[in-house]
Amino acid sequence: MRMIYHGSKGIVQTPVFGGGRKDNDYGAGFYCTEEIELAKEWAAIDEKGGFLNCYGIDETGMNRFALILSETQDSPELILKWLAVLLKNRNLRLGSPVEKRGKEYILAHFLPDLSDVDYMIGYRADDSYFSFARAFLSNTITLGQLSHAMFLGELGLQYVIKSGRMFERIHFLEAVPVDGQIYYTKRRTRDLTAREKYRKMLEQESEDGLYLNQIMRSR
């Protein structure tokens, strides 16, 4: 039995299959994390706070899809798969033809088949990560820089329940109030830290690594 946590404004005793937003990072699903402190930040979308919903879940026999790697691991294809899933589901505003062509290429070559997946584990994306994605699509940063950027804000990993049969495995345990005065500040600090590190990274031109236009020409 694995412990997972969902931070929200209210108490969620019975997550509903098909009830999540389709434009979340990994599409429709129930978004949780194994990190208690991170879930508390998710609950604090403002200073009013919210609730840490705690669950146990049985993964026996379930199909898992992971989009995770260590900071020292070099896995370009995994990074591109993560980006493809993000581009498929999130409404990312792309202003230039270069960005639009880049999106089409990523989706055509790296989007994984998730039709039989019961649950996913992968990086969380917020507004700062959208800046990283757009910069890569416009050939402003390299694939190596994009990989590094995924760790800048330590935004954590999401545990996303996707299938109906996986929803049947969720067992609600308790809901704990979250102090918004504390965790809203932590949430904002995490995002601001990622943005500042990203700004500094852009000031350093990368001499190594591949830009998207080079990857496209090599195939």
What is the structure's pLDDT at 77? Answer: 84
What is the structure's pLDDT at 109? Answer: 95
Tell me how many domains the chain contains. 1
What is the structure's pLDDT at 67? Answer: 85
Structure pTM? Answer: 0.87
Q: Please give the biggest Cα pair distance in the chain.
A: 53
Higher pLDDT, 72 or 11: 11
Q: Domain range for residue 173?
A: 2-218
Average pLDDT, the chain: 87
> 24 vs 19, 86, 148, 177, 205, CA distance in Å?
12, 8, 22, 24, 32
